[in-house]
Amino acid sequence: MLFNRRDINTLPFTGGEEWQFGNERKVLEEQSRNQNPKSMRSGFFLNWIHFRLKLTLIKVLIREYKNPIDWFLGLQYLIKLRRRFLGNQRLKKMAYVDGKYYMGLYTPGWRSTVYEQFIASELNEFKKTNSPAYRFNHVFLAITKKCALQCEHCYEWDNLNKKDVLSEDTLHGIVHRIQQLGTAQIHFTGGEPMLKVDILLSLMKRSASGTNFWMNTSGLKLTAINARRLKQAGLTGVFISLDHFSAEEHNKFRNFKDAFYWAQEGARNALNSGLVVAYSICMRKEFVSEENIQRYMDLAKETGVHFVQFLEPKAVGHYKSTDVTLGTEQIRLLESVFLKMNFSDNFSSYPIITYHGYYQRRQGCFSAGKKGLYVDTDGDINPCTFCHKKSGNILDPKIDNLLATMTAAGCPTYTA
């Protein structure tokens, strides 16, 4: 029997917030009238943005280095770095949200101080910069074990709905430690982080500047009011899990009667609140076909989300000891869609696709303490959300040594 949205009010960990569907619908409709649905930028206008973006790169180079030779060499380094990931391909679109331009989910929006510090941190690999460098591009932080859903692929299945051990004060300490180490992004995850919405708000309001905050969610409780509160507290964007274009199939996969409803409703509310919105899909063997992917992308376009994240299933959590690895032809199809929809003029109105597997097979994994990290619901550091190999606690005074050990071990699946 699947849970439904009414059941979550009876769960002991949902908190006491009132559901105000009628009032929230009025807020949603009022906000919708003030939103610009055309958030994707392409064509001639995109060329103008690229030109202005290059001027920003030059500004950062001049700020970080005194020697003009370093300006030239640093710019060449950034160009080579881009080609390392994209080759000679050029992204045909950007997402425009709340005054900033986004070219990728893990790159801060251009026209922000976080973007400039992100670029300076990349340059630090070329030559030490004047500004402090981010140690990480992104850090995933799980703030709760609680979840109302029982998803087929849950990577935290073994810990799901056990007692939370991290207090709100401890979570504040963890955010502070992560920001001390330096990161462009912190992604709140769980469990379902929306079940701890008041803690989310507190963590962002009391944080230091210089970090973008994101949330990974099923969409549950992402109502119009909550979306607006999160935006006002400092949230940049949300990853909303949507694993099928069919409501019936998605609900079945998530073992929750209204999972599809909340994914769609949460996305619309987030969009109307000025958040960057991405759908995140687990590309299962039985789903991967050209027709299914096209129908999914059509739905994402119709909803108006800015990004779609392709995730390959991993044999961890609820999938442990299960053969879920995609075959060669399925991977080839995903890569073909990724390249076609991102780098062809024919799909400029579709969301931008982020596909980690494409880059990892060519460049290795940049998590495992290199550019990314996962802090689990016990406060322990792991290489990533799909690689549960604890290497000590994030609040350990010897965190630098723990991170060095993790980085030396690297990713067990992809090596650079």
In the predicted model, what is the mean pLDDT of residues 108-133?
97
Report the predicted TM-score, pTM, of the whole model to 2 decimal places: 0.91
Which residues have a Cβ under 8 Å from the Cβ of 269 and sit 6 or more positions away? Answer: 24, 28, 222, 223, 224, 226, 227
Tell me, yes or no, whether 38 lies in a domain: no
Residues 79 and 145 in one domain: no
pLDDT of residue 17: 38
Q: What interhelical angle do 224-233 and 21-32 show, nearest 10?
A: 60
CATH of the domain at 342: 3.20.20.70
In the predicted model, what is the mean pLDDT of residues 110-126?
97
Determine what percent of the chain is predicted with pLDDT higher than 90.
81
Residues 119 and 168 in one domain: no
| Sheet with 93-97: strands ordered across | 40-42, 93-97, 100-102
The CA dihedral of 283, 359, 39, 198, to the nearest 10 degrees, is: 70
Residues 235 and 270 in one domain: yes
Residues 226 and 342 in one domain: yes
374 confidence band (pLDDT: 50, 70, 90): very high
Lowest-confidence region among 56-60, 80-84, 178-182:
80-84
In the predicted model, what is the mean pLDDT of residues 27-42?
59
Q: Give 332-359 pLDDT, tens digit per residue.
A: 999 999 999 999 999 999 999 999 999 8
100 confidence band (pLDDT: 50, 70, 90): very high
How far CA 257 is from CA of 5, 149, 151, 162, 279, in Å, comes to 7, 9, 12, 22, 19
Encoded amino acid at 14, one letter? T
Tell me, yes or no, whether 245 lies in a domain: yes
Structure tokens of 385? 């959300």
Q: In a 10 Å sphere around its CB, with 0-12 CB exposed, 13-18 middle and 19+ buried, how is residue 277 labelled?
A: buried
pLDDT of residue 38: 64
Tell me, yes or no, whether 303 lies in a domain: yes
| C-beta neighbour count of 70 within 10 angstroms | 18
> Which residue is it, tokens 């944080």?
207
In the predicted model, what is the mean pLDDT of residues 388-400?
95
Residues 270 and 163 in one domain: yes
Structure tokens of 306? 């800015």
C-alpha 309/C-alpha 385 separation (Å) is: 15
Tell me, yes or no, whether 35 lies in a domain: no
Q: Which residues of 149-164 are buried (b: 16+ CB within 10 A; e: fewer)?
A: bebbbbbbbebbbeeb
Q: Give 220-249 pLDDT, tens digit per residue.
A: 999 999 999 999 999 999 999 999 999 999
The candidate with the shortest Cα–Cα distance to 102, out of 278, 346, 360, is 278
Structure tokens of 253? 């996969």
pLDDT of residue 21: 43
CB 45 within 8 A of CB 38: no
Full domain range(s) for residue 381:
7-28+134-409
Question: What is the chain's alpha carbon radius of gyration, rounded to the nearest angstrom?
Answer: 21
The candidate with the shortest Cα–Cα distance to 374, out of 326, 292, 317, is 317
Structure tokens of 247? 């409501």
Lowest-confidence region among 155-164, 297-306, 324-333, 392-401:
155-164
265: helix, coil or strand? helix
Tell me, yes or no, whether 182 lies in a domain: yes
Residues 252 and 140 in one domain: yes
Residues 17 and 104 in one domain: no
Tell me, yes or no, whether 386 lies in a domain: yes
pLDDT of residue 19: 39
Has residue 410 got a pLDDT over 70?
yes
16 confidence band (pLDDT: 50, 70, 90): very low
Q: What interhelical angle do 168-181 and 197-205 show, nearest 10?
A: 40
Alpha helices in 35-167 (DSSP H): 43-64, 68-86, 113-123
The candidate with the shortest Cα–Cα distance to 289, out of 235, 345, 355, 245, is 245
C-alpha 129/C-alpha 168 separation (Å) is: 35
Residues 12 and 47 in one domain: no
pLDDT of residue 26: 52
Mean pLDDT, the chain, integer: 90
C-alpha 139/C-alpha 381 separation (Å) is: 10
pLDDT of residue 313: 95
Tell me, yes or no, whether 128 lies in a domain: no
Encoded amino acid at 1, one letter? M
Has residue 90 got a pLDDT over 80?
yes
Count: domains in the chain: 2
Q: Fill in the DSSP letter of residue 245.
A: S
Tell me, yes or no, whether 371 lies in a domain: yes
C-alpha 147/C-alpha 318 separation (Å) is: 14
pLDDT of residue 278: 98
Residues pairing with 380 in the sheet = 393
CB 313 within 8 A of CB 325: yes
C-alpha 55/C-alpha 119 separation (Å) is: 13
Q: Give 142-168 pLDDT, tens digit per residue.
A: 999 999 999 999 999 999 999 999 999
Q: Give 202-212 pLDDT, tens digit per residue.
A: 999 999 999 99
Give the β-pairing of 100-102 and 93-97.
Answer: antiparallel
Distance from CA of residue 238 to its chain's centroid? Answer: 7
Residues 172 and 235 in one domain: yes
Instruction: Please tell me the number of Cα atoms within 13 Å of 263 on its side-chain side.
Output: 28
Has residue 72 got a pLDDT over 50?
yes
Residues 117 and 240 in one domain: no
Residues 227 and 99 in one domain: no
CB 142 within 8 A of CB 191: yes
CB 380 within 8 A of CB 390: yes
Residues 63 and 139 in one domain: no
